Every structure is written in C-alpha cells, then in structure tokens.
Copies of this chain bind each other. A is one copy, B any other.
Amino acid sequence: MRFYSVTEPVKYEGPDSTNPLAFRYYDPKRKLLGKSMAEHLRFAVCYWHTLCWPGLDPFGGETFLRPWHQAGDQMDHARRKADMMFETLRLLNVPFFTFHDLDIAPEGSSLKEFNRNVSTIASHLLKKMDETGVKLLWGTANMFSNRRFMAGAATNPDPDVFAYCAAQVKHCLDVTKELGGENYVMWGGREGYETLLNTDLKRELAQAGRFLNLVVDYKHKIGFKGPILIEPKPQEPTKHQYDYDVATVYSFLKANGLEKEVKVNIEQNHAILAGHTFEHEIALASALGIFGSIDLNRGDYQSGWDTDQFAMNVPELALALYEILKAGGLTTGGMNFDAKIRRQSIDPDDLLHAHVGSMDACARALIAAAKMIEDGRLKAEVDKRYAKWDEPKNQAMLHGKESLADIAGRVLSENIDPKPRSGRQEYLENLLNTYV
C-alpha cells in the first residue's frame, strides 16, 4: 500500500503550470548570482514534523495515524520511517534531511539500548544516503521529551541529568559525524525556567556554559568540522528560555568565550515570538558574525505559540533571503523545513503539497532577492544615507581618534547643527515591491 499517491518526483514546470505537484519557480539548476538555486537554498526535510508528529495538540489526540504509529516492532517502524524519509526526499528532490536522535530510533529502556538503536538506524540511513546522494544537514539530540528532562537538560537542578545529556549528545554528535552531518544543532527547549521561585538562574547559566564548552571541545577532539548551532527561542515549552533570541545567544557565547565556535540556527517562528522580524534576527546574527543556518517556517501573527507553519508569503521571504544573501549566503547551513502541516491535513500528500508550496515560495523569494542584489538600488540608498561616515574625519571619530571633549569642542566651535534627511521608507518599500 502506497503512502503518497504519486511515485514520480515533483518537477519544475514553470510559472504557468497548474499542476499542484509541480514546481513553478524552484528550478534547482537555475543559476542566480553564480550559484544554482539548489546551492543557494540547500533545502532540508525534517524528521520530527514530517514523519514523527502524530497530529496531537494540547486539546486533542492524534489525527494522522501513520503506519509507524501503530502497534508493532519499534525498530521495524523506525526503518519504515527512514525509508519514507528517503522517499519524501526523492519525490521532493530535496538534498538534505535533519533529525533528533529520538526521531530516528526508539528510546528503549536504557541509554545503552537507545544508543544502540540510534546506531543501528544510523547505519540504515547511511546506506540509503550512499545510494541516493542525500546528505545530512544536521543532527541534534532530543533532550526535552522524556520526563527526565522536565526541569531542563544541561540546566537541570540535578547534575545527573547534565551528565546524562552529555552522554546523549556525545553519541548523537558521533552519529552526526558518521553520517557526514554538516552542522550539529542544539535547541534548548527546556533550558529555561517556569518560575524564578524554584530557580537559581546564575547556576543554570553556568551549567549551560560548561555544557556548551564540553560539546565544542569534543567536536574538536573528534574532528567534526561543521559548526555547532544554537537555535534561539524565547519560550515554549518553558515560560522563559535562556536562548531567547540572537542577541541573548550572543551574550551567552561571549560570556563563555564561544562566539567564534558556535553559530545560530534561526527560526522564523521563534523570531516573531521574541518580538522580532525574521530578517532582523538574520541581519543581527550576520552583523555579530554568528549566522549559521535557517529553520524555515512561519508563525501565525495572531497566535502566541509556535505554530511552525509552512512559509508561504513571498515578500516576507524575500526580505529574509535578501539578508541571507547579504550575509554571504548559506555556507554549511541550509533551509530546514521545521514546519508541520496542520493537524487537519491528514492525507500523506498534504506533506508533499506543503513542501512543494514552500519550496516554490522560497525560490520565488530567492529570485527577487537576487534581483535586489544585482540591481543594487536598495544598497545604494543605504550607502548614500551613511556616506558622510566614510569621510576621513568621521572615520577618525568612529575609530576613537577624538575624545568626547574633543568632539564637543569641535561641535561648539564649528557650530555643528545637523539637518535631518528623509528616511524614505515608503519609497524603499515600493522599490522592494518591484522585485517581488
């Protein structure tokens, strides 16, 4: 019995296609700014939302009833799920996938057994990867679902949990390396607190700092080349998460001397939950030198939780892709669909529609962003606005050649009286609309 209704990979058919399972914009080999679309976008399908999530929500049970959610041997189910991942990648022509250890293999009754399960399935994955050419964008350890992590992972008040997490991450990083993963991600879902009344925030930050240092050291020890990525999120499941947003992660990295070692995996929905735009978080990470990868999805602006919907709004995506291109593009990073179909989308094909639509929206946004870069008018406006800073005397001031008193003396003696200039926001927004 087939899972998806189709067996032929989705193909590029151009903007006029009315085939719902065709790409209208995503043409993987099309070159933009010297790279193919596939190289620019580096799409990845995630295990958890696409294959593991059963359609639960806080008020209702599963709706999807996937074959591997039925009773039966869990390792068989794990292999079946793995095969379905590769079938999904094949149908979508997506080159990467991502996983949590717990997504790919059953938990078993001990860490030893879990590790064994993970390794067993990893071998299965590796074989499929070799056959298909698919690659692993990143792996990550799930340290939030089991009740042992209810009070945090590395930041748990119980040092045994910290130790347990160290063991789990070690194995997951080993496996990620074995699979040629290009990055390794940490999402601190329960690295936070519910109430300060039972929390020693300072201790927990110190624990988190140590943990990250341990992971970075280990990465170097085993020669894992890719970056460690932290994924900021302000809250949910905890009331407050320590990796609130890009700036908070940077403050944490700086406090622990890790700002050269660790980068961020930025998710749109987490950005807006933290009160930012997606493009803000990308631009800030780029300015701070810690931009790593993207968890692509969209939040609902009227819902205060992580809806993880498939991103579809082209003008918004174009702003994000423009920042990504300005940041030098994705290097080891990718665009991981950390997105889930709605709970009512119970047909397996809904998974295909979701990915196809969002890939197409990204492709369209990329085309627009590349035009912005090539055209250069947006950048020229910005450069013009700051041009006076490029004058030698102002560069001198910026680089500390004058003291506050020096500058003040100059202002008074030269009677400097700045005249405001229009910020031209509306003109620039119109200009933007000519690209999208």
Contacts and interface: CB of A to CB of B under 8 A. Distances in A.
Interface stretch (A69-77, A79-87, A158-166): A158-166
Residue of A283, A304, A346, A408 with most chain B CB atoms under a 10 A cut-off: A408
Please list the 6 inter-chain residue pairs (A to B) with the smallest Cβ-Cβ separation, ordered nearest first: A304-B304, A344-B423, A357-B430, A251-B251, A167-B411, A354-B426
Dominant SS among interface residues on chain A: helix
A34 interface: no
Nearest to A171: B408
Contact of A342 (B156, B190, B194, B411): B194
A407 B159 CA distance: 11
Interface residues of A, number: 159
Given A61-B147, A200-B386, 18 more contacts: A57-B58, A60-B144, A111-B415, A160-B416, A162-B394, A170-B404, A170-B407, A171-B408, A194-B344, A197-B381, A202-B286, A207-B398, A235-B302, A235-B303, A240-B302, A248-B251, A346-B422, A361-B433
Given A159-B389, A275-B302, A408 B196 contact: no
Interface string A188-220: 011000111111111101110010011101100
Contacts of A236: 58-59, 303, 305
B346 A164 contact: no
A430 B353 contact: yes
A218 B378 CA distance: 38
Number of copies: 4
A203 B386 contact: yes
B319 A316 contact: no
A124 interface: no
A242 to B, nearest CB: 9
Contacts of A61: 145-147
Interface string A371-386: 0000000100110011
A417 interface: yes
Contacts of A423: 150-151, 194-195, 198, 342, 344-345
B274 A275 contact: yes
Nearest to A351: B426
B149 A60 contact: yes
B388 A425 contact: no
